[in-house]
Amino acid sequence: MPVLAYCVTTAEVALKVAQTGVAGMTVESVDESGLRCFVSRRESELPMSSLATREEALAFHSVLQELFRQTTIIPFRFPTLLADEASQPTSESMPGNTAIP
């Protein structure tokens, strides 16, 4: 199921986020490799054009602002859709992150 990505934070901090975000979708967090990615699962029947409205851009921005008040975030551009949760960034996939032998 495609996911709409909001931002990435470190997974160390407990954060509060609105129950709903873009298009009334639930905002969830997924932790992986010390990172937390905030996403909404996009129902396949929801057309992409329904996300590209001023209202939805403001809803996206509102979620980012709420999280930014609590911690540093790395925001995604609106609307960034990932094919599924497996496509989400991990610490190994972040630019400049190299493994130390």
Q: Is the pLDDT of residue 100 over 50?
A: no
Q: Is the pLDDT of residue 95 over 70?
A: no
In the prediction, which pLDDT does 79 show?
Answer: 86
- Specify the DSSP class assigned to residue 50: G
In a domain, 97, yes or no: no
In a domain, 96, yes or no: no
Q: Are the C-beta atoms of residues 23 and 56 closer than 8 Å to each other?
A: yes
Please list, in sequence order, all residues whose beta carbon lies within 8 angstroms of the beta carbon of residue 35, skipping any fewer than 6 positions away: 8, 9, 10, 11, 89, 90, 91, 94
Q: Are the C-beta atoms of residues 14 and 97 closer than 8 Å to each other?
A: no
Q: Are the C-beta atoms of residues 17 and 27 closer than 8 Å to each other?
A: yes
Q: Structurally, how many domains does the chain consist of?
A: 1
Range of the domain at 68: 3-85
pLDDT in tens, 65-89: 999 999 999 999 998 888 765 554 5
Between 98 and 57, the higher pLDDT residue: 57
Model pTM score: 0.77
In a domain, 98, yes or no: no
In a domain, 69, yes or no: yes
In the prediction, which pLDDT does 97 show?
Answer: 46
